[in-house]
Amino acid sequence: KWLLYGAGVAAAFLYCQARILQAAKGVPAWRERRIVPLIACTGLAEGAGIALCFSMASVSAALFAGALIARLLLWWRYRDAVKSTALASAGRAVLWLGTILPFALLLVGDPFAWAAPLGGAAAVAAGWWLKLALVTRASFKQDFSLPHLPVRGAR
């Protein structure tokens, strides 16, 4: 019962975290509508990675694998929409550290008890790196632009 309450509070927090970023309309990288599912899925992948550190149940591993795939797909869609060079290193981290390495460690995790939790920790680190890059590197403000200046009455 308390686990369900905790999951509901965590889901509400993830949604609010994603909506806060999208509400900052002055930052072009945040106003993209694809940021909400990306941040939510990144949080889900991080939560599943942390759960994998404590429980190696097959349900935890399946949820973790699904969240990793969804996060990678959502990242690619977001990256194609935003086209920011400031997020290139975070994108490589999501691919290699946050997806490929955890899947490899999940595959060898059965004989080695430390491998799956290490994969979960790697996925958490990649998620944090992505969010840090979104908040610090890709958060330049767009100034107001006036394409045509008003012309006052001629003298």
Quote the pLDDT of residue 55. Answer: 78
Q: Are the C-beta atoms of residues 109 and 56 closer than 8 Å to each other?
A: yes
- Tell me the C-alpha distance between 89 and 66, whole Å: 23
Quote the pLDDT of residue 97. Answer: 92
**Residues 48-62, mean pLDDT to the nearest whole number:** 84
How sure is the predictor about 30, in pLDDT bands with cuts at 50, 70 and 90? confident
pTM of the model: 0.83
Q: Helices marked H in 24-148 — which ranges?
A: 28-31, 35-54, 58-82, 88-92, 101-107, 115-132
How many residues are recorded in the chain? 155
- pLDDT digit string, tens, across residues 76-130: 999 999 888 888 999 999 999 999 999 998 888 666 778 888 999 999 999 999 9
For residue 144, how many C-alpha atoms fall within 13 Å in the half-sphere facing its CB?
A: 3
